[in-house]
Protein backbone atom coordinates (compact mmCIF):
# COMPACT_ATOMS: atom_id res chain seq x y z
CA UNK A 1 0.00 0.00 0.00
CA UNK A 2 1.63 3.23 -1.17
CA UNK A 3 -0.79 5.52 0.64
CA UNK A 4 0.95 8.03 2.93
CA UNK A 5 -1.86 8.17 5.47
CA UNK A 6 -2.25 4.36 5.58
CA UNK A 7 1.46 4.30 6.44
CA UNK A 8 0.83 6.66 9.36
CA UNK A 9 -2.07 4.43 10.51
CA UNK A 10 0.20 1.38 10.30
CA UNK A 11 3.13 3.16 12.03
CA UNK A 12 5.33 2.68 8.97
CA UNK A 13 6.07 6.41 9.05
CA UNK A 14 5.74 8.69 12.08
CA UNK A 15 2.71 10.83 12.72
CA UNK A 16 2.15 13.35 15.50
CA UNK A 17 -0.99 11.53 16.68
CA UNK A 18 -3.44 13.38 18.93
CA UNK A 19 -6.39 10.94 18.94
CA UNK A 20 -7.08 7.35 17.92
CA UNK A 21 -9.95 4.88 18.19
CA UNK A 22 -11.04 1.79 16.23
CA UNK A 23 -12.31 3.81 13.29
CA UNK A 24 -10.43 7.10 13.09
CA UNK A 25 -6.98 8.62 13.62
CA UNK A 26 -6.15 12.29 14.17
CA UNK A 27 -2.68 13.84 13.84
CA UNK A 28 -1.10 17.25 13.50
CA UNK A 29 -0.68 18.54 9.94
CA UNK A 30 2.97 18.71 8.88
CA UNK A 31 2.46 22.17 7.33
CA UNK A 32 -0.03 23.90 9.65
CA UNK A 33 -2.19 26.71 8.28
CA UNK A 34 -3.51 27.73 11.71
CA UNK A 35 -2.29 27.58 15.34
CA UNK A 36 -4.11 24.22 15.52
CA UNK A 37 -4.27 22.23 12.28
CA UNK A 38 -5.20 18.58 12.73
CA UNK A 39 -6.09 15.98 10.10
CA UNK A 40 -8.78 13.45 11.01
CA UNK A 41 -8.89 10.35 8.84
CA UNK A 42 -10.79 7.06 8.68
CA UNK A 43 -8.62 3.97 9.28
CA UNK A 44 -10.29 2.45 6.23
CA UNK A 45 -8.58 3.59 3.04
CA UNK A 46 -11.06 5.71 1.07
CA UNK A 47 -9.36 7.67 -1.74
CA UNK A 48 -11.78 10.58 -2.22
CA UNK A 49 -15.14 11.83 -1.02
CA UNK A 50 -16.56 10.32 -4.22
CA UNK A 51 -15.57 6.85 -3.02
CA UNK A 52 -17.57 6.86 0.22
CA UNK A 53 -20.02 3.95 0.39
CA UNK A 54 -23.21 3.72 2.36
CA UNK A 55 -21.53 1.30 4.79
CA UNK A 56 -18.97 4.06 5.61
CA UNK A 57 -21.49 6.60 6.85
CA UNK A 58 -21.01 5.93 10.57
CA UNK A 59 -17.25 6.36 10.16
CA UNK A 60 -17.69 9.59 8.21
CA UNK A 61 -19.94 10.89 10.97
CA UNK A 62 -17.23 9.98 13.46
CA UNK A 63 -14.75 12.21 11.62
CA UNK A 64 -17.01 15.19 12.21
CA UNK A 65 -17.77 14.17 15.78
CA UNK A 66 -14.04 13.79 16.50
CA UNK A 67 -13.34 17.23 15.04
CA UNK A 68 -15.84 18.79 17.43
CA UNK A 69 -14.49 16.83 20.40
CA UNK A 70 -10.94 17.97 19.66
CA UNK A 71 -12.13 21.58 19.19
CA UNK A 72 -13.72 21.42 22.65
CA UNK A 73 -10.57 19.93 24.20
CA UNK A 74 -8.39 22.59 22.57
CA UNK A 75 -10.73 25.30 23.87
CA UNK A 76 -11.79 26.95 20.58
CA UNK A 77 -15.13 25.19 20.04
CA UNK A 78 -17.18 28.15 21.21
CA UNK A 79 -15.20 30.89 19.46
CA UNK A 80 -15.31 28.90 16.23
CA UNK A 81 -13.13 26.98 13.83
CA UNK A 82 -12.89 25.74 10.25
CA UNK A 83 -13.40 22.17 8.98
CA UNK A 84 -12.49 21.40 5.36
CA UNK A 85 -12.42 18.35 3.11
CA UNK A 86 -10.86 18.80 -0.33
CA UNK A 87 -11.89 16.54 -3.21
CA UNK A 88 -9.75 15.83 -6.28
CA UNK A 89 -7.48 18.25 -8.17
CA UNK A 90 -9.77 21.25 -8.50
CA UNK A 91 -10.73 20.96 -4.84
CA UNK A 92 -7.08 21.05 -3.78
CA UNK A 93 -6.71 17.42 -2.67
CA UNK A 94 -3.08 16.29 -2.60
CA UNK A 95 -3.25 13.13 -0.46
CA UNK A 96 -5.67 10.53 -1.77
CA UNK A 97 -6.93 9.13 1.53
CA UNK A 98 -9.83 11.26 2.71
CA UNK A 99 -9.07 13.59 5.58
CA UNK A 100 -10.88 16.29 7.45
CA UNK A 101 -8.81 19.39 8.17
CA UNK A 102 -9.62 20.84 11.59
CA UNK A 103 -8.19 24.35 11.92
CA UNK A 104 -8.58 26.65 14.90
CA UNK A 105 -6.96 29.42 16.87
CA UNK A 106 -7.33 32.20 14.33
CA UNK A 107 -10.12 33.91 12.40
CA UNK A 108 -11.03 32.50 8.99
CA UNK A 109 -12.41 34.36 6.02
CA UNK A 110 -15.09 33.32 3.56
CA UNK A 111 -15.18 32.42 0.71
CA UNK A 112 -12.24 30.05 1.06
CA UNK A 113 -9.44 30.56 -1.47
P1 LIG B 1 -5.05 18.08 1.04
O2 LIG B 1 -4.34 19.11 0.21
O3 LIG B 1 -6.44 18.46 1.44
O4 LIG B 1 -4.99 16.71 0.39
O5 LIG B 1 -4.27 18.00 2.41
C6 LIG B 1 -3.15 17.21 2.62
C7 LIG B 1 -2.53 17.67 3.90
O8 LIG B 1 -1.65 16.67 4.36
C9 LIG B 1 -1.70 18.94 3.77
O10 LIG B 1 -2.24 19.93 4.66
C11 LIG B 1 -0.29 18.52 4.17
O12 LIG B 1 0.39 19.51 4.89
C13 LIG B 1 -0.57 17.29 5.00
N14 LIG B 1 0.50 16.29 5.07
C15 LIG B 1 1.20 15.78 4.04
N16 LIG B 1 2.04 14.84 4.49
C17 LIG B 1 1.87 14.76 5.83
C18 LIG B 1 2.47 13.98 6.87
N19 LIG B 1 3.43 13.06 6.63
N20 LIG B 1 2.04 14.18 8.14
C21 LIG B 1 1.09 15.10 8.41
N22 LIG B 1 0.49 15.86 7.48
C23 LIG B 1 0.88 15.69 6.20
ZN1 LIG C 1 -4.84 5.19 2.66
pLDDT per position as a tens digit, 26-73: 999 999 999 999 999 999 999 999 999 999 999 999 999 999 999 999
Q: What DSSP string describes 61-113?
A: HHHHHHHHHHHHHHT-TTT--EEE---HHHHT--SSS--EEEEESS---SS--
Q: Could you tell me the distance, in angstroms and rounded to a whole number, from the CA of residue 99 to the centre of ligand 2?
A: 10
Phi, psi of 36 (to 5 degrees): -115, 125
For the question of residue 45 being annotated catalytic, the response is: no
Is the per-residue pLDDT at 1 higher than 80? no
The answer to whether the CB of 31 is under 6 A from ligand 1 is yes
Enumerate the β-bridge partners of residue 65. Answer: none
- Which atom of ligand 1 has the smallest separation from the CA of 28? 21
Q: Is residue 113 part of a domain?
A: no
Average pLDDT score, the chain: 98
Give the rounded percent of residues in the chain with a pLDDT score beyond 90. 98
- Domain boundaries, position 8: 4-104
pLDDT at 113: 85
**Number of domains composing the chain:** 1
Read off the CATH number of the domain in which 57 is found.
3.30.428.10
Q: Is residue 112 part of a domain?
A: no
The answer to whether the CB of 95 is under 6 A from ligand 1 is yes
Q: Is residue 84 part of a domain?
A: yes
Q: Could you tell me the distance, in angstroms and rounded to a whole number, from the CA of residue 79 to the centre of ligand 2?
A: 32
Amino acid sequence: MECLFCKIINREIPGDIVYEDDEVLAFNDLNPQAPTHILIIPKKHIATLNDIEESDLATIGRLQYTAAQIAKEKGFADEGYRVVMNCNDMGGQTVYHIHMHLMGGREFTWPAG
